[in-house]
Amino acid sequence: MVTKMVGFGGYGRVYQAEQLSVGKRAVAIKVLHAMHRDRPATVAAFKREVSYLAMLRSPCFPRVIRTGLTPDGLPYFAMEFISGKGLDGILKSNGPLDINRAVYIMDRVCEGITEMHRKDIVHRDIKPGNVIVEEGAAKAWSIWMLDLGCAKPAYEPDVPQNKEDTFSFGSPPYMAPETVIKGVTNEQTDIYSLGCMAYEILTGIRAIHLKDTSADSYFAYLRNVEKPVPTYRVGTIVPELPEVVEQVIHRALVRDLTARYSSVMDFRNAFLSAAGPYLDRQASMSVDLTTSSNVSGFVRKDPDEIAKKSGLGGRLLLRFKKP
């Protein structure tokens, strides 16, 4: 029995419902928009998403319960209902998270993306908005990855991009430069997106920090090979963050995809190794999601103020090692 609509996206609507046959278990039902009924490519992408969810076993992916057609002939699938909060919303209301929480989230997301890559699937839309944080017993966090609607087989050829082309996948703030310039999507572009997410979790701002946040502005920035990525070094925003952690994130974000980590597991291992000595093993994973305070424990510097005072504007701000 459907209770309410809880989500609305480009491909379809998501409803919360109760599965009465098993004691009113809460489930989520995703239904394709009626306007896509006669669009074979969109229908195929919708069906591909449910097939991917059905084959993935990492604990960050919800389990598919049922698939079928509505009385109107629209494809749908039912899956576990996740009642948490979006990571993007948590960052917006609470600010950057501490290194313990960052490692916890990135470890679990990397585990899921690693499984996808091992099964020849490229995600193509990794971002905080597709990560759900669910608070369980003793306020322990469970991390979920939702929305595989942009995912594709790794062996499927990329479509070359022109400047006038629009993208039917991904989110501009988290798209790799080579995706915007050439239409390339592969394991390295997913690694870039993971680097963007790690950057945002620890600094509270996006790796590409622009006042004009339109898609065209991000595309223009990424197509300009003279523009630094990230816009500001991690240590410029959070000076107290260990430099070894910054180095890992920056390597994931380099423009030259051959200089990035060779796999998500390599990135994950490097991130955990760099952060390991600075973790508080006794720290709680809970965070009060009703407050708007900075929970990172670091003093975050405002990037616009930094640029204004330094006179460097949008150029790369350097961080120097102590002699």
Could you tell me the residue ranges of all domains in the chain?
Answer: 2-80, 85-310
What size, in residues, is the chain?
323
Alpha carbon distances (Å) from 312 to 93, 126, 212, 315, 316: 29, 30, 18, 6, 8
> Does the structure show a pLDDT above 90 at 156?
no
Q: Is residue 241 within 8 Å of 278, Cβ to Cβ?
A: no
Q: Encode pLDDT of 56-115 as tens digits.
A: 999 999 999 999 999 999 999 999 999 899 999 999 999 999 999 999 999 999 999 999
Q: What is the pLDDT of residue 322?
A: 38
CATH, domain range 85-310:
1.10.510.10
Residue 282 has pLDDT above 90, yes or no: no
Q: What is the pLDDT of residues 86-95, one digit of tens each?
A: 999 999 999 9
- Give the pTM: 0.85
Element at 8 (helix H, strand E)? strand 2-8
Band (47; pLDDT cuts 50, 70, 90)? very high
pLDDT in tens, 191-247: 999 999 999 999 999 999 999 999 999 999 999 999 999 999 999 999 999 999 999
pLDDT of residue 302: 62
CATH of domain 2-80: 3.30.200.20
Question: What does the alpha-carbon distance between residue 130 and residue 42 come to, in Å, rounded to a whole number?
Answer: 20
Question: What is the tally of helices (H) and strands (E) in the chain?
Answer: 10, 10
